[in-house]
Structure 1
Amino acid sequence: MFSPIDWFRLFMAALFILPIVTVIRESGYYLVATLLRGENKKLIVGSGPILFAIPTVEVRRYFFMYSWMEYDELKPKNRFWHGLIYCSPIIMTGSIAFIANALVLEGVLPDNIFWTTFIFYCFYYVLFDVIPVYLPDGQPTNGRAIFDLIWHGERSDFKRKREDNKKSDNQRSYTEAQEETMQNRDQDDKERSDHTNPSSDNSDVGKDTNFTETQKKTKENRDRDEAVRRDHTDP
């Protein structure tokens, strides 16, 4: 059961601690993007209508909900500098968490709800930043972006684009092969009909006499399935 102190902790975390931790995390991007002369950089805090804005920083009404960093291209374009931009939120958030934790252990900062929750969410962000996975929307975590740079030697966006193009080419080739197979099979059916009933002039009546009732039913079901498949593969 939630006690009054738990409700207080919940609202404090949602309205103050999480926004602070998020801004610290995005500040890592901001600092490195500034050092690397990133173009058109902007730190956006929150969502919704804009409350106020200063050069390169924008604060929105729902400041506690979401924050992100925007920038164009970095001046140095090699793998090391792109790896640094991916590492920056991990380094920034992790450093603040370790410093705050050390200060609490030394008694410099009070061991209260605010600081324990703050340190918890800092490590929470660091943990999920370093896990090398792709998110449901296709975006990589920073850990995955770093992994792709080291292991594959390319940025995650380039890697995903190349894989998507390859998948599209394979799907197109597979569809063309299906079409060719169906055409060949139809040609074989026609030739079989000519050989088994040469007196027929390829009429519908002649075709029907070449197959048993079970064969005709199977052929009708197959043709229907192929028509449905064509609708899905060639919209």
Structure 2
Amino acid sequence: MVGIQDIPKFFLAFFLVLPIISLVHEAGHVFFAWLMGGKNIKVTIGSGKVLFRVGMLEVRKYYFWYGLCTFDNLRRREKFANILIFSGGALFNAIAAVVVISMIENEVLEPGILTYQFTYFSLYYIFFALLPMPYPDGHYSDGKVILDLIRRKASLQEKTYRIHWDEEKKQWCVLDHNRKLIEAFDDEKKALEKAHEVAAANRPSRLLNSVSGKESEVYHYPTIPL
């Protein structure tokens, strides 16, 4: 039975338990992204202004809400690898909940409102992560991405951006997925910076360097798991 004295503990759940569950969730994405050869892996906990960064972890002002995992240049890009990465968050939440329940049943932990909240909110996280739906900010839930991967939906097809040396104009041109000009530069470095900016903002995408008819991949930006 929940009493008035338990109300502060519910507030504690939002400021302590939820961020821990979010961190466990992102750890699942990180583990499988690392396993599939992802580079530059970063984890963001919360939203708003950045409070601090430690290694790959970034904690923001509203640390009790939202989580994000970014990485680049996967070594393995096949459908199964991506499904593992996007399933990883919910899988780690499920494992953590089972561990806590087992510890309670084996009397390693005492049942209480915090252990209850941990298991409850872990299941909450799993449900909304796997529910195939778009979020208000335009991102897709992990479940939506997994479903689209299975269905091979066009929304997850990689877009290809290029930096191309135009011999006639003597300029470096940044081209979109349809090979239409985005912007031209005299300096290759500036063109590359612009191309990275565009490709990163339109994941999943590849960035190619096209010189004398030969193309080489510069970078790969996969879809971001939440």
TM score, norm. by length of structure 2: 0.63
2:29–2:85 contact (8 Å) kept in structure 1: yes
Deviation larger for 54-63 or 73-82: 54-63
Shift in alpha-carbon separation, 1:42–1:155, aligned structure 2, 3 A: farther
Cα deviation, 1:115-141, whole Å, max 9, x if unaligned, reads 001110001111122222233444322
Shift in alpha-carbon separation, 1:39–1:121, aligned structure 2, 3 A: same
1:25–1:93 contact (8 Å) kept in structure 2: yes
Report how far residue 83 of structure 1 moved. 0.8
Q: Which residue of 1 aligns with 2:12?
A: 12
Distance across 2 between alignment mates of 1:153 and 1:22? 28
Runs of 5+ unmatched residues, structure 1:
160-235
Report how far residue 89 of structure 1 moved. 0.5
Report how far residue 155 of structure 1 moved. 6.9
Report how far residue 43 of structure 1 moved. 0.9
Over the matched positions of the two proteins, sequence identity in percent amounts to 30
Q: Which residue of 1 aligns with 2:44?
A: 44
Shift in alpha-carbon separation, 1:157–1:136, aligned structure 2, 3 A: farther
Please state whether the residue corresponding to 1:76 is helix, strand or coil: coil
1:114-193 superposed matches below 5 A: 114-150=114-150, 152-154=151-153, 156-158=155-157
Letter in 2 for 1:123: L
1:1-235 superposed matches below 5 A: 4-150=4-150, 152-154=151-153, 156-158=155-157
Runs of 5+ unmatched residues, structure 2:
159-226
2:42–2:57 contact (8 Å) kept in structure 1: yes
1:53–1:59 contact (8 Å) kept in structure 2: yes
Report how far residue 142 of structure 1 moved. 1.5
Shift in alpha-carbon separation, 1:133–1:61, aligned structure 2, 3 A: closer
Distance across 1 between alignment mates of 2:55 and 2:103? 33
Cα deviation, 1:166-205, whole Å, max 9, x if unaligned, reads xxxxxxxxxxxxxxxxxxxxxxxxxxxxxxxxxxxxxxxx
1:28–1:88 contact (8 Å) kept in structure 2: yes
Letter in 1 for 2:67: S
Q: Which residue of 1 aligns with 2:167?
A: none
2:46–2:64 contact (8 Å) kept in structure 1: yes
Letter in 2 for 1:53: R
Q: Determine which structure has greater relative contact order: mean sequence separation of CA pairs < 8 Å that are 6+ residues apart, divided by chain length.
A: 2
2:149–2:156 contact (8 Å) kept in structure 1: no
Cα deviation, 1:14-43, whole Å, max 9, x if unaligned, reads 110011101111111111112222122211
Paired residues, what number? 159
Letter in 1 for 2:56: T
Going by fraction, where is strand more abundant, 1 or 2?
2
2:148–2:156 contact (8 Å) kept in structure 1: no
Please state whether the residue corresponding to 1:41 is helix, strand or coil: strand
Please state whether the residue corresponding to 2:111 is helix, strand or coil: coil
Distance across 1 between alignment mates of 2:111 and 2:81? 38
Q: Which residue of 1 aligns with 2:173?
A: none
Q: Highest Rg: 1 or 2?
A: 1
1:145–1:155 contact (8 Å) kept in structure 2: no
Cα deviation, 1:30-66, whole Å, max 9, x if unaligned, reads 1111222212221112233333322211223432233
RMSD of aligned Cα (Å): 2.5
Distance across 2 between alignment mates of 1:155 and 1:102? 42
Shift in alpha-carbon separation, 1:49–1:79, aligned structure 2, 3 A: same
